[in-house]
Amino acid sequence: MAQQFPYTYYACCINASSSASLVQKRSSHTTTADEEDEDRTFDPRSPRANYSLYPLEHLLYCDDCQQIRCPRCYTEEIVAWYCPSCLFDVPNTQVRTEGNRCQRNCYNCPICTSPLQVNPLEHSSHLAPESSNGASYFLGCPYCNWSSLDIGVEFAKHTGITAQLAKLKTARQSQAKKEREERAENTDSNDNNALNERPTRDDLFSNLKSFYKDALSSANPVNPLSFDPTLYNSPPSVTRLMNLYAPPSVKRAKAAKPTPMREAHSTSEGLLPLSPVDEDMSIARMAQAGWDSLSSTAQRSQQQHPTTKFVQDLWPAQTRLLTRRAKRCATCRHILTKPDSKISSTRYRIRILALDKVPRLSIRALSALHTPHPSFPISVSSTAATAPRFEYENLRPGVMVQFLLTLHNPLFEPIRVTLGTPAVTPGKLASRVTVLCPQFEVGANTDVWDEALNSSTTLSSKGKMQPGDGPVQAEAGKVWERGRNWTSVVVEIVPGFPGGAPTGIVPRTAEEEEELDEEDTVVEVPVFVRFEYEYEHPDAAVFEKMREEEGARVKEVPEMGRQTREVAFWTVLGVGRVAGR
């Protein structure tokens, strides 16, 4: 993994199978986290963890469920389609009829995928005035210099490339067909007739499509592959829908065995029989043009017909459309983000981010004051350039390292945080972890000026720090440093020995060496974060007014007023890699 140390990932949907029930339990107002969930230490090395760890900025938050939401627990709805190249907002109706490709002049290079440009054909001499020649444009790749002239394609106009290309393609296909027929006549083969009937690939596709359509509709009137909405009006489809929602036992009894369908038999039904003539042609061409004339797998996958064998036959690919999507909580269906439908706008109509709702954890080595941010690989000041850098990639097994874990509070209320870590990290590299102060408060995210005014009073023990000089004396049970809306605590980590045993005592066998892969040298610490805060119920004021107006009729609603809310989640801190193998 290319991720640079140190990093923090947030876990969501750890236990996918039971997450739905978990969510429901939590959302039913009592905010206590599921006990079972807490007892089990989250193991970042488990194969499942790959699918539940995210950087904080990728996560959303559902206010109703009071939970972090990840791609596995939100659903997506397409708000708009657009072309990434011409930034045109493509209407939904057009996408339905024309498919997810830009219908304007956007094409990608069949060789390297770079966007192609329409260029005027520059005549080598001034003899031909531009108006005299009809074809005077071509598609060119600014990256690999591929040109549509390489495959003999020129355009008369610089607009309407799609229509011009389609015309050229049809012309070319009929030309190819003719050539094949001529060749077939010359060859002494007995299936001349079949070859003469050989349709183009596009014909073949439409033949096959209509064959399946007919077969499906005749086999069972209500076919599962059809999405025709008019079918939902018919009684059989209603029965089918009922079957879908019926309990499994009922469903199994009712579901009839599908009648096996016949496959396509002839070219008129869309079958492409193996043709010795075509194969001979291909082989002859390969022998003549060599390896370089063959298209790569990646290039073929870009093509409309993925069987395109030769570079010479690769066709410019229409640019694929991208989408902007709204996201909904999968549990309560509340909308979590909704972007503006216009591509020109980067605004969101609704956007509830996890980073605005849960504290941000960041970790770094205590001795490394000036390690550059992984995303900003620059030296910020001259002192930073010369200061010793902490080598996260080079942790020594068995040697304790002090890290500073900082929590930033995005909320407008102060939070009480409890951190939980396993004493020994799970996995082969068993590292020992001690959080010196697992319970502390983090101030509210109030005005920045408050901090500036109170800067003299912020508790700071920075003076003790001597970068590069062995471990500092950090007191257990006390926070290291505290600011407006952040608190730092010291975490002591003793990286384990790769392979489990200290090298000096038990010599490792070659077999054991092999068992260790690179991932086993990474020190990752699972941290359970639980925080609580008091908040004013947003409806409290409204309720108060109601009570005044209606008097005794509305008596008491205990949920109003100040409440305590508790939120809990797992995170994984990647603190470095053990060296020396």
Partner 1 sequence: MSPDLESITDTGNKISRRAQITGTANITLGGKTVIQSDVVLRGDLHRLPQRKEDGTMERTPTAISIGRYTVISSGCVLRPPGRNSGGTWRYYGMKVGDNVFVGPNTILSSASISSHVHIGASCTLGDFSIINSNVKILPGTVVPALMVVPPGVVLGGQPARVVGELGEGWGGGGNGVGGGEEAWTEGGELRELVRAIR
Contact residues toward Zn ion (CB under 5 A) are 12-13, 62, 64-65, 70, 72-73, 83, 85-86, 102, 104, 106, 109, 111-112, 114, 141, 143-144, 146, 329, 331-332
Helices (H), 197-269: 201-219, 235-245, 248-254
311/31 Cα distance (integer angstroms): 61
Residue numbers 486-525 binding partner 1 by CB under 8 A? 486-488
Beta-bridge partner residues of 406: 362, 488
Cα–chain-centroid distance for residue 487? Answer: 32
Q: Crossing angle of helices 276-289/161-186, nearest 10°?
A: 110
Regarding 322 and contact with partner 1 (CB under 8 A), the answer is yes
- Using CB under 8 A as the binding rule, whether residue 51 contacts partner 1 is answered as no
Q: Encoding tokens for residue 475? A: 């007191």
* 70 contacts 52 by C-beta, under 8 angstroms: yes
Distance of CA 169 to the CA centre of its chain: 36
Helical H segments across 72-119, by residue range: 92-98
Please give the single-letter amino acid code of residue 302.
Q
Q: Are 65 and 25 in contact (CB under 8 A)?
A: no
131 binds partner 1 (CB under 8 A): no
- Residue 104 binds which of Zn ion, partner 1, none (CB < 5-8 A, kind-dependent): Zn ion
479 binds partner 1 (CB under 8 A): no
Least distance CB 460 / partner 1 (angstroms)? 10
Among 33, 79, 95, 112, binds partner 1 (CB under 8 A): 112
Environment class of 298 (CB within 10 Å of its CB; exposed 0-12, middle 13-18, buried 19+): exposed
* C-alpha to C-alpha distance for 328 and 350, rounded to whole angstroms: 11
Give the total of residues touching partner 1 (CB under 8 A).
60
Interaction of residue 117 with partner 1, rule CB under 8 A: yes
Span from 25-33, 138-146, 150-158, 179-187 in contact with partner 1 (CB under 8 A): 138-146
**Quick check: 111 and 299 in contact, CB under 8 A?**
yes
One-letter-per-residue 3-state SS of 58-87: HCEEECCCCEEECCCCEEEEEEEEECCCCC
CA distance 358 to 363: 16
Using CB under 8 A as the binding rule, whether residue 531 contacts partner 1 is answered as no
Q: Which of 45, 58, 158, 416 binds partner 1 (CB under 8 A)?
A: 58
Token pair belonging to 10: 């947030």
User: Which listed option, partner 1, Zn ion, none, makes contact with residue 73 (CB within 5 to 8 Å by class)?
Assistant: Zn ion
**Closer residue to partner 1, CB minimum distance, 286 or 353:** 353
Can you tell me which of 26, 101, 328, 364 binds partner 1, judged by CB under 8 A? 364
Contact set for partner 1, span 387-446 (CB under 8 A): 404, 406, 408, 410, 445
Q: Which does 74 bind (CB under 5 to 8 A by kind): partner 1, Zn ion, none?
A: none
> Which partner in partner 1, Zn ion, none is near 351 (CB below 5 to 8 A by kind)?
partner 1
User: What radius of gyration do the chain's Cα atoms show?
Assistant: 33
DSSP annotation of 354 reads G
DSSP-assigned beta bridge partners for residue 320 = 101
Asked if 194 interacts with partner 1 (CB under 8 A), we say no
Q: Which one of partner 1, Zn ion, none interacts with residue 280, CB within 5 to 8 A by kind?
A: none
Task: Supply the minimum distance, in Å, between the C-beta of residue 445 and partner 1.
Answer: 7
Residue 467 interacting with partner 1 (CB under 8 A):
no
Q: Would you say 108 or 223 has its CB closer to partner 1?
A: 108
Rounded Cα gap, residues 221 and 214, in angstroms? 10
- Residues of the shown chain interacting with partner 1 in the complex, contacts defined by CB under 8 A: 54-60, 82, 84-87, 109, 112-115, 117, 141-144, 322, 324, 327, 337, 343, 346, 348, 351, 353-356, 360, 362, 364, 369, 373, 375-378, 380-382, 404, 406, 408, 410, 445, 448, 451, 481, 483-488
